[in-house]
């Protein structure tokens, strides 16, 4: 809940606006992280093979898409079928790739 936003009309007044908060005020649960904190993470397969580095995150209606650059560029949907584990603290993302990814 955002302080001062008590109903749908107040919420709609913020539509298409950028809202800022102090990082210290964010109440993240265990295992949650800011997307900006995983940019630059090492991306590897579940077998430990290096895929590359997370360079960018595209926000799409269906899901976020991770742009990973290594020997090749990979676009990996940020869904549990492909992103198996995100260790933001250590900067490692474990993924499962399928043919054509």
pTM of the model as a whole: 0.81
Residues 13 and 85: their CA atoms lie apart, in Å, by 36
Instruction: Give CA separation, 65 vs 6, 16, 17, 59, in Å.
Output: 32, 21, 23, 7
Per-residue pLDDT, 33: 93
> How far lies 92's CA from each of 27, 29, 38, 47, 89, in Å?
22, 19, 8, 13, 8
How does pLDDT run along the chain (101 residues), one tens digit per residue? 678 889 999 999 989 999 888 988 888 898 899 999 999 999 999 999 999 999 999 999 999 999 999 999 999 999 999 999 999 999 999 999 988 76
pLDDT given at position 25: 87
Give the pLDDT confidence score for residue 101 in this predicted structure.
66
Cα separation, 19 vs 99, in Å, equals: 39
């Amino acid at each position: 809940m955002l302080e001062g936003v008590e109903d749908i009309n107040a919420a709609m007044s913020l539509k298409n606006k950028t809202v800022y908060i102090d990082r210290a005020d964010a109440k993240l649960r265990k295992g949650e992280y800011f997307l900006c904190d995983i940019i630059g993470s090492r991306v590897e397969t579940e077998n430990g093979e290096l895929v590359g580095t997370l360079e960018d995150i595209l926000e799409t209606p269906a899901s976020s898409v991770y742009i990973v650059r290594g020997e090749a560029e990979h676009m990996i949907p940020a869904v549990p079928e492909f992103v198996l584990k995100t260790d933001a603290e250590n900067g490692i993302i474990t993924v499962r790739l399928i043919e054509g990814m």
